[in-house]
Amino acid sequence: MEAIVLYPAPNMGHLISMVELAQLILLHHHHPSNSLLSVHILITSPPIDLGSPSPYIASVSATTPSIIFHHLPDPSPPLQPASFPSMEALVFEHINLTTPQVQTTLLSISLSSSIRAFVIDGFCTAALEVGTSLQIPTYYFFTSGASCLALFLYIPTLHKNTTKSFKDLNTHLHVPGLPPIPSSHMPEPTLDRTKEQHSWFLNFATRLPKSAGIIVNTFNSLEPNALKAISDGLCVQDGHTPPIFCVGPVIKSSDQSAGGQAECLKWLDSQPRGSVVYLCFGSLGTFSKEQLKEIAVGLEKSGQRFLWVVRSPPMKEQSQQLLSQSEEDPDLDSLLPESFLDRTREKGLVVKKWAPQVLVLSHDAVGSFVTHCGWNSVLEAICAGVPMVAWPLYAEQRFNKILLVEQLKLALPMNESEGGLVSAAEVERRVREIMESEEGNSVREQVLAKRQEAMAATSEQGSSRAALAKFMESAKR
Ligand SMILES: *[C@@H]1O[C@H](CO)[C@@H](O)[C@H](O)[C@H]1NC(C)=O
Ligand SMILES: *[C@@H]1O[C@H](CO)[C@@H](O)[C@H](O)[C@H]1NC(C)=O
Ligand SMILES: *[C@@H]1O[C@H](CO)[C@@H](O)[C@H](O)[C@H]1NC(C)=O
C-alpha cells in the first residue's frame, strides 16, 4: 500500500484546493497495473472560525473512501485568540505547536503504507522539517499563482536589500518575471517587518526552495513570464530552485451544498445571456456600512443587472482578516439605501452571505465578476470565461490585482480614493465599462482565450496533466 499525505492550511479555500488535488492524484494513479494508493489529509483546527469543514469532509469521505482524514489533536492548553495580533500569527503558532502530532501521525500512517510524498501548505511550513527528518520527500502546494510564487521566492532578496518595511518604502519593486509592484501592494502580512506575521512569512519564503518541489495552482500558459523567471533560477538568488509543477487550474468541481441556495440560480435562468454583473468578495471579505451604500448607489445608477452577495460589516474595528465573527445574516434593510431592494427588484438580486460561485460563474446569464482577487476566485472566473473587475481586500490580493490588470489583462481595476473607500461613481463607471466598453470587450476576449488554454492544459494530453505525472514520478521511492 502506498500513501501520499497532504497537510492543508485550516481554512475552507485552501482545504478545498487540497482535496481537489487529492482527487486529481487518485484519478491520475487509477490504473489496474498500479499499486493501491490512498491520500491522507491532516486536519488541524485553530480556535477561530475559518469556516466549518465538517460537512464538507463528511461528504468527501462518503464519496471517496481512498481519501482519509486525520484530525490532529489541539495543542494543550489551547491558544487564546485575543493574545494574537493577527489571524495569520495565531494560525502559524497553532500549526507550530501541532508539529509533534504531525510526526506521530506520519509515523502511524507509515506502519501500514509507504509514504511517497508529504505535501504541505505554506502555512504548514513548521512541518517541512518533520517530513524531511523522516526522509519523506516533502513538497509545497502553493495555492496562489506562479507570479505570486515568483514574488515569494524573491522576498528574501527584497528583504535583504533594505532595512525598511515595504509599507514605508514608497517605491516600485522589481521582481524577475513580474510587472513593477508598488511596495504598498505587497502581500499584507509582509508589509510591516515589526509585526509577528512578517517573520512567519519570511521564514516560509526562505523555506520554499528547500522543499523537494512546489506544486502550483496555475497552468503553464497563464503566467509564462513568471514561470520562465523561476525556471531560469532568477527568483532564488542564493540557492537552488526546486522543481515546479503547474497542475492547475485546480478548482472546486461542484457546489454540493447548492440545493438550498438555488434561488439565485433560478433567478439567473430568467435573465438575458451575459447581462448580469456578479459581485462577491470571498469568505472573509467584508465592507463597512458606508462602503455597502456606495456599492448599492453605484450599481443602481449603472443600470446593469446584478447578483450581489452581501455580508454583515465587521463587528468591531478589527482588521479585515482577523477573527471572522460567527456571522449573523446581514440586515439588508438597515445596510442598504432606503427602498433600494424595491427599486432594483426588476434588475437585481441581493443574496445573503453566500452563493454557489462555480455554478453562478458558469451560468450563461453572468457577464462579469467584481471580485476580491482571491486566487481561487480568479481561477474560477477564468474557467468560466468571465471578465473581472479587481477589487482586492486582503492577503496577496492587491498583488493579484496588479498582475490581472497590468500583465494578464484579465480584469479592469476598481480604483480606491484616498481613504480606501470606493465611491459610488467609481462603481457605476467600472461596472458599465466591463459590460459595455471596448476595454471591457478586450478583457472578455482575453479571458475567453485563457479559458480555452485552461481546458487544453487540463485535458488528457495537456501540460497540467503532464506536470502531475512528473510530480508522481518524482515522488516514487
Ligand atoms: C516553532 O516550533 C519550533 C520547535 O517546534 C521552535 O523551535 C520555533 O521557535 C517555533 N517558532 C516560533 C516562531 O515560535
Ligand atoms: C535594491 O534597492 C535599490 C535602491 O532602492 C534598487 O535600485 C535595486 O533595484 C534594489 N535591488 C533589488 C534586488 O531589489
Ligand atoms: C485612480 O485613482 C487615482 C487617485 O487615487 C488617480 O490618480 C488615477 O488616475 C485613477 N485611475 C483611473 C484609471 O481612473
Q: Whose CA is nearest to atom 11 of ligand 1?
A: 96
Q: Whose CA is nearest to atom 3 of ligand 2?
A: 161
Q: Burial level of 320, CB count in 10 A (0-12/13-18/19+)?
A: middle
**Are 186 and 173 a contacting pair, CB within 8 Å?**
yes
Q: What is the structure's pLDDT at 258?
A: 52
Ligand 3 site, residue 425, Cβ cutoff 6 A: no
Q: Selecting from 3.40.50.2000, 3.30.413.10, 3.40.50.970, 3.90.1150.10, what CATH number does the domain 259-455 have?
A: 3.40.50.2000
What per-residue confidence (pLDDT) applies to 321? 44
Write the pLDDT tens digit of every residue in 43-63: 998 888 777 788 889 989 999
- Per-residue pLDDT for 319 more than 70? no
* Cα of 418 from ligand 3 centre, angstroms: 10
Q: Is the pLDDT of residue 331 over 70?
A: yes
For position 161, what pLDDT does the model report?
95
Ligand 2 is surrounded, with C-beta below 6 A, by: 157-158, 161, 174
Starting from the edge strand earliest in sequence, which strands make up the sheet with 2-7, in order? 67-71, 37-43, 2-7, 114-120, 138-142, 214-216, 244-246
Same fold, 2-252+458-474 and 259-455: yes
- Hey, what amino acid is at 64? T
Once rounded to an integer, what is the mean pLDDT over residues 320-329?
56
**For residue 330, which of 346, 310, 315, 347 has the smallest C-alpha distance?**
310
In this prediction, residue 420 carries a pLDDT of: 87
Torsion of CA 151, 156, 158, 161, to 10 degrees: -170
Identify the CATH number of the domain defined by range 2-252+458-474: 3.40.50.2000
Indicate the domain borders of the chain. Answer: 2-252+458-474, 259-455
Predicted pLDDT of residue 78: 87
Which stretches of 32-189 are DSSP H helices? 54-63, 87-97, 99-112, 128-133, 146-160, 166-169
| Ligand 3 atom 12: residue of nearest CA | 415
Say if CB 430 and CB 414 are below 8 A apart.
Answer: yes
β-partners of residue 309 are 351
Residue 454: all three cell numbers together: 485552461
Among 83, 84, 96, 198, name the best residue to mutate to test ligand 1's pocket (greatest count of ligand atoms within 8 A of Cβ).
96
Q: Among residues 46, 38, 125, 28, which one has the least CA distance to residue 91?
A: 46
pLDDT of residue 85: 83
Cell readout for 429 is 463607471
Sign of CA dihedral 317, 167, 291, 371: negative
pLDDT of 316 higher than 70: no
Average pLDDT over residues 155-184: 96
- Ligand 1 geometric centre to CA of 373 (Å): 32
Dist. CA 379–CA 169, nearest whole Å:
31
Min mean pLDDT across 104-118, 320-334, 422-436 is at: 320-334
Yes or no: say if 219 and 464 are a contact pair by the CB < 8 Å rule.
yes
Determine the Cα–Cα distance for residues 97 and 74; give it in Å rounded to an integer: 9
Percentage of the residues of the chain whose pLDDT score is greater than 70: 96
Provide the CA 434 distance to its chain's centre, in angstroms. Answer: 23
Cβ–ligand 3 contact at 108 (below 6 Å): no
Contact 151, 236 (CB under 8 A): no
Could you tell me how far CA 2 lies from the centroid of its own chain?
Answer: 29
